[in-house]
Chain A
């Protein structure tokens, strides 16, 4: 393949969000008619990159060249017109309409175009032909909502093909498919490719990437680190490229001698989500949960804390069994759950720092239901000072604080609940570097005071830098356990992808056996 066949070329694409540089001088070159993979860890910038191509976001700098034109001020509508179609994880079909209607949605064939009278017959014929061409056994008159997820995705692909898309972007298309459905999908991808359509394929599943992509671009920390020819590369090469970085000394990890067992989870199950999750946490210990997005880490935390129902499982706190059916039970058992989504699940943005800090176990400030407003204020102010919360006063509206300070309010809220077990879901997401270090120091203080801490984080070096022990999850199961000394990014990545290592990288050790269970 020669470069004169280039369909898409990105140069120096940079995108900043408040406090974060999501993409930094990213380059990408896609050749017409190929299946091009994009891989990278969580947060490496894959989603942001796609949004640049679909017009959802505009780059701060850099150029996008597509099919002979430089794209400036791309909008989602323009992207569609010039032939870029995107199939997102959440499908964009209207379930009540038939397959034909969905395929032609917005591009209906009209009998008399001025009157908008539809030519149903022609549309049905064309759709049938298209389904046949792609080798799909889907009835064109079926209601789309009655089809399985896999078939619905095929309908989206048909829609993209019908719109004469030159390039179809698929964002994690197999994440909700069964193995069989995924196979079908790749058969269709091959068909689409045979029709000369280029496919940009984003996936976490490296074995899929290896099997189906011609070339792959690897993103890491918002930069494009390599473009590899899949014919000459292995999954191992990809993993090395994805994680290849040193953990700088930005984690002020403090080691505390582990005390007695404070939390024990046995046989936690939730149908289709969690399978037989068992682990222990000791006082003074930081237990990290690693894994890809959707591996079931948040779901584990939610099932433990009663935010979601569980089908079975026993939870022991300090050796005694606790029945947790609602978040209230979890709070009473001394378990705090600091959710990933602060704005939607953690805080009441229109209320003050004081209101938010004291909303868990508010009754501890009340006598006979009457609140001691003074003790609420004193407690909040004391804690705000300890946490170095930067706010003019505790009456400040939480929604107006920075991400780091909002996270401190969440922490304050749970500290005041007198919990002994803290589950942090993505504790440093969306906050700047300085605030991150402060959060790490708070985690240190918690374990020093004898609490047990669980951190769920998608940033590999963070989980490795802060945890005493690491559990890796894949598709609702725990696939490996490492001590901090044993853990390497490669080992975690293998366990998170549940791939058996082709060669044995130094010291796969305990993790390997669990992977192959």
Chain B
């Protein structure tokens, strides 16, 4: 009797396990289908949507957000968040502007300064979490958001800097044939991040830390090192996104990147990463990024007031997080 019961129980668990895997796949497919549907709706509503020029425009705007979202994805994957990405973008590029244009530093060295600044600020976010043991990166990165923005405003008394050398503009402004360099960069970054996360020890450790910090620690994973690395990468990608943005507009300004964290969070969550940590793939994050970009672009084309755009992004975030909560329930096999 008992054995029959156990067998039935085991069979039920197997079914539940398959269901959970199935739910994941359905969800991922659902995000892709939503993107296609949204594109279809935009095409119907605005004749200008499905044109090469417009799609190129969507993509180049999405490129900056896509790069920022890489770091945000890693932060959320470890059950954290990085609210400072927009400000780090601004401060890193402002520092680059000062050393490059005002001081006349070599363009390549200036790029290194930009990326170094972003990485350092990200590393500080990590330290606040792992060494100062601030309760949640929500707090530490919120503080960093305000501090970095403040310094970005102070260093040139809020004035923008422009007239960058061609080398600095390369990533944001040049094309190979008809393909913008920024697209290639996004492709390389996402491909590289995919391999990093699935094929390297450190990548798996990031998933492990996100899934269960204590189990990871007891399994010999250096949890703090991993977290520091994640926030450093997030700072780096924010600065890199800033470099692309600076190239595209040939200027850096202290109010650049405001609200970028919101779009990045929305993209990552829509892309199926879980706020509870440990779940998500980088490939789906790019779909999330495109979904947001198409939504914004379509609303623009239809001349919808930017206030409504802001509203829509907010609504999308809440829906995506609610779907995440529902998904967690299915995965945990609860009611």
Hey, which bits of chain A sit against chain B, CB under 8 A? Answer: 18, 305, 307, 326-328, 330-332, 337, 339, 344-351, 355, 359-363, 366, 369-371, 373, 390-392, 395-397, 399-402, 413, 417, 432, 434
Contacts and interface: CB of A to CB of B under 8 A. Distances in A.
Contacts of B212: 344-345, 347-349
B218 interface: yes
A349 B211 CA distance: 8
B200 A359 contact: no
A361 B13 CA distance: 29
B219 A399 contact: no
B109 interface: no
Contact of B204 (A337, A339, A359): A359
B218 A396 contact: no
B180 to A, nearest CB: 30
A370 B13 contact: no
Contacts of A413: 219
Interface string B210-231: 0110111111111000000000
Nearest to B277: A350
B188 interface: no
A360 B6 CA distance: 30
Nearest to B278: A350
Interface string B52-68: 00000000000000000
Kindly name the residue among B6, B202, B214, B220 whose own CB sees the greatest number of chain A CB atoms within 10 A: B220
B222 A328 contact: yes
Interface band, chain B: 35 or more
21 contacts: A326-B222, A339-B218, A345-B214, A347-B215, A348-B212, A348-B216, A350-B278, A351-B208, A351-B211, A359-B204, A359-B219, A360-B219, A360-B220, A362-B205, A370-B200, A390-B10, A392-B17, A397-B20, A399-B333, A400-B13, A400-B17
A505 B214 CA distance: 45
A344 B216 contact: no
B14 interface: yes
Contact of A348 (B14, B17, B278): B278
A370 B279 CA distance: 21
Nearest to B214: A345
Given A327-B220, A349-B211, A366-B200, 16 more contacts: A305-B218, A328-B222, A345-B212, A345-B214, A346-B215, A359-B208, A360-B220, A369-B202, A370-B199, A371-B201, A371-B204, A396-B17, A397-B20, A399-B333, A400-B17, A432-B6
B204 A355 contact: yes
Contacts of B31: none
Contacts of A363: 201
A424 B306 CA distance: 60
Contact of A392 (B14, B214, B219, B220): B14
Interface of B: 3, 6, 9-10, 13-14, 16-18, 20-21, 199-202, 204-205, 207-208, 211-212, 214-222, 278-279, 331-333
Contacts of A397: 17, 20-21, 331
A493 to B, nearest CB: 31
A373 B205 CA distance: 15
A20 to B, nearest CB: 12
Contacts of A392: 14, 17-18
B17 A359 contact: no
A359 B216 contact: yes
A351 B207 contact: yes
B331 A399 contact: yes
B279 A400 contact: no
Contacts of B21: 395, 397
A367 to B, nearest CB: 10
A234 to B, nearest CB: 40
A348 B201 contact: no
B278 A351 contact: yes
B204 A362 contact: yes
Kindly name the residue among A18, A350, A366, A434 whose own CB sees the greatest number of chain B CB atoms within 10 A: A350
A348 B202 CA distance: 16
A359 B13 contact: no
Contacts of B208: 348, 351, 355, 359
B201 A369 contact: yes
Contact of A371 (B3, B6, B199): B199
A417 B220 CA distance: 10
B16 A400 contact: yes
A355 B204 CA distance: 8
B200 A369 contact: yes
Nearest to B205: A362
Contacts of A346: 215, 218
Contact of B199 (A339, A347, A373): A373
A403 to B, nearest CB: 11
Contacts of B333: 399-400
Contacts of A399: 331-333
A331 B220 contact: yes
A391 B18 CA distance: 11
B204 A402 contact: no
A348 B215 contact: yes
A371 B198 CA distance: 8
A345 B217 CA distance: 9
Given A347-B212, A350-B331, A400-B16, A362 B218 contact: no
Contacts of A391: 14
A297 B120 CA distance: 43
List 10 A-B pairs, minimum CB-CB distance, nearest first. Answer: A400-B17, A348-B211, A331-B220, A328-B220, A348-B212, A360-B219, A362-B201, A327-B218, A363-B201, A366-B201
B55 to A, nearest CB: 36
Contacts of B200: 366, 369-371
Given A327-B218, A359-B219, A359-B221, A401 B13 contact: yes
A346 B20 CA distance: 21
A306 to B, nearest CB: 9
Given A348-B278, A363-B201, A400-B16, A355 B220 contact: no
A346 B10 CA distance: 21
Contacts of A330: 220
Contacts of A328: 220-222
Contacts of B216: 348, 359
Nearest to B333: A400
Given A351-B278, A362-B205, A392-B17, A344 B219 contact: no
Given A360-B219, A361-B220, A344 B214 contact: yes
A344 B213 CA distance: 9
Contacts of A362: 201, 204-205
A327 B219 contact: yes
Contacts of A366: 200-201
Kindly name the residue among A360, A391, A400 whose own CB sees the greatest number of chain B CB atoms within 10 A: A400
